[in-house]
């Protein structure tokens, strides 16, 4: 396979998507309209979906909400015409001797969406945890457990199942007594590190390997922030791969911290990676991820490592929260018992979000990412 061109910190495709999205978004958002493009058919390597006419445009308040969907060539969906959200089933993932059994949330496309073996996305949450803060200690009643999850993860599950993917979301924190996450804990003092979360991802892959109706050759690993670091750790080819564990066919990392991988001098990829990050991210700086891409391509000239940097976007740009400053993020490990914190900017960016989701749509549909 020919070597892909090395991507600059801001790739041409990212810059083009941003420019196109800004021109269209300015006109559409001024009228207060929200549009969304995409297909209900599964995105598979064997049958790629048609190219998007334009990036899906999202309002700052309703990024992935089912009621804002516009199907290709159709009118905007309304509450009366939009399908109900796909429910989630809670399942148990059994790990090895050092890994506790984890609760995971399993979403399956509605009956009739596809008759083929299902492609799957394993989605790894960020340091804030998977569960909604008000529901993180609840047991969850009824048959639909998705109400327990944070809005971002519910909406991504809906977006992915609409494209024919099953979605598995492991909860790495609740079983370890940290349902509210680890964002405010010094990184070096966290009990849940990259090795731990890699073990959780492998447990999820093993569970998928035993499920009927799942295509084990079409598994996507996707993560956000701390979960994106776990994605990078999982697809690190310098680490052994457990026998009997399905391989990851491709991986997606939203704004990971790339510092540890950069420092690892033998870091290599075992699967194609799409890494998306904001150019103004002051929590997990994009420059380190650009360094990682350069290092990987120097070691693996044929590696498929796509880096998209969205100018002006901050950490969490694909979310819907207002841009705000967090002052509770540790600056590092405790030093002499004194905890130091730093301020970081977090929040959604409607234009970068639209461009990133269009890129994700294309990446999942591509037969050769």
Which residues, including other chains, have CB under 8 Å from residue 81's CB and lie 6 or more apart? none
Residue 269 counted as domain residue: yes
Longest CA pairwise span in the chain (Å): 62
For strand 166-170 and strand 102-107, is the pairing parallel, antiparallel, or unpaired? antiparallel
Residue 157 counted as domain residue: yes
Give residue 189's pLDDT: 73
Residue 7 counted as domain residue: no
Nearest to 255 by CA among 231, 272, 220: 231
Q: 312: how many CB neighbours lie within 10 A of its CB?
A: 12
Q: What is the residue-wise DSSP string for 16-58?
A: HHHHHHHHHHHHHHHTT-------SS---SSSPPPPPSSPPP-
Task: Note whether 274 and 309 are within 8 A (CB).
Answer: no
pTM recorded for the entire structure:
0.77
Q: What is the total count of domains within the chain? A: 1
Q: Please report, for the domain that includes residue 214, its CATH number.
A: 3.40.50.1820
Per-residue HEC secondary structure of 207-234 comes to HHHCCCCEEEEEEEEEEECHHHHHHHHH
* DSSP β-bridge partners for residue 335: 338
Per the listing, tokens 């540890």 go with 260
> How many Å apart are CA 239 and CA 13, to the nearest integer?
31
Residue 100 counted as domain residue: yes
Segments in the chain below pLDDT 50: 1-15, 17-18, 20-81, 136-141, 333-335, 337
Instruction: At 341, list the tokens.
Output: 């914190």
Task: Note whether 208 and 246 are within 8 A (CB).
Answer: yes
Which residues, including other chains, have CB under 8 Å from residue 189's CB and lie 6 or more apart? 333, 334
Residue 42 counted as domain residue: yes
Residue 343 counted as domain residue: yes
Domain that holds residue 140: 12-365
Nearest to 345 by CA among 322, 326, 319, 318: 326
Which residues, including other chains, have CB under 8 Å from residue 325's CB and lie 6 or more apart? 343, 344, 345, 346
Tell me: the pLDDT tens digits for 108-167? 998 755 558 999 999 999 999 999 986 544 444 456 899 999 999 999 999 999 999 999
> How many Å apart are CA 169 and CA 47, to the nearest integer?
26
Residue 336 counted as domain residue: yes
Residue 5 counted as domain residue: no
């Amino acid at each position: 396979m020919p070597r892909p061109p090395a991507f600059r910190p801001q790739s041409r495709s990212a810059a083009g998507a941003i420019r196109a999205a800004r021109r269209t978004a300015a006109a559409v958002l001024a009228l207060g309209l929200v549009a969304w493009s995409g297909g209900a058919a599964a995105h598979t390597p064997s049958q790629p979906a048609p190219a998007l006419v334009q990036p899906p445009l999202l309002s700052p308040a309703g990024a992935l909400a089912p009621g804002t969907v516009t199907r290709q060539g159709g009118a905007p969906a309304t509450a009366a015409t939009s399908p109900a959200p796909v429910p989630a089933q809670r399942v148990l993932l059994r790990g090895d001797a050092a890994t506790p059994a984890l609760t995971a949330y399993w979403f399956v496309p509605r009956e009739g969406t596809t008759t083929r073996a299902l492609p799957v996305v394993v989605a790894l949450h960020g340091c804030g945890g998977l569960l909604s803060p008000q529901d993180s200690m609840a047991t969850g009643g009824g048959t639909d457990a998705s109400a327990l999850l944070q809005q971002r993860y519910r909406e991504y599950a809906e977006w992915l199942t609409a494209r024919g993917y099953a979605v598995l979301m492991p909860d790495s924190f609740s079983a370890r007594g940290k349902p509210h996450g680890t964002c405010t804990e010094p990184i070096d003092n966290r009990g849940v590190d990259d090795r731990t979360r890699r073990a959780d991802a492998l447990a999820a892959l093993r569970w998928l390997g035993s499920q009927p109706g799942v295509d084990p050759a079409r598994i996507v690993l996707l993560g956000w922030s701390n979960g994106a670091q776990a994605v990078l750790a999982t697809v690190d080819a310098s680490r052994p791969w457990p026998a009997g564990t399905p391989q990851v066919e491709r991986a997606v990392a939203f704004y990971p911290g790339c510092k540890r991988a950069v420092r690892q001098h033998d870091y290599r990829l075992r699967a194609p990676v799409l890494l998306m990050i904001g150019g103004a991210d002051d929590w997990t700086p994009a420059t380190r991820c650009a360094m990682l891409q350069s290092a990987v391509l120097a070691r693996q000239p044929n590696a498929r490592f796509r880096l998209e940097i969205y100018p002006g976007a901050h950490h969490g740009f694909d979310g819907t929260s207002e841009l705000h400053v967090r002052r509770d993020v540790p600056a590092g490990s405790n030093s002499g018992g004194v905890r130091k914190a730093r301020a970081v900017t977090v929040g959604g960016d409607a234009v970068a979000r639209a461009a990133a989701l269009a890129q994700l749509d294309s990446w999942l549909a591509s037969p050769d990412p």
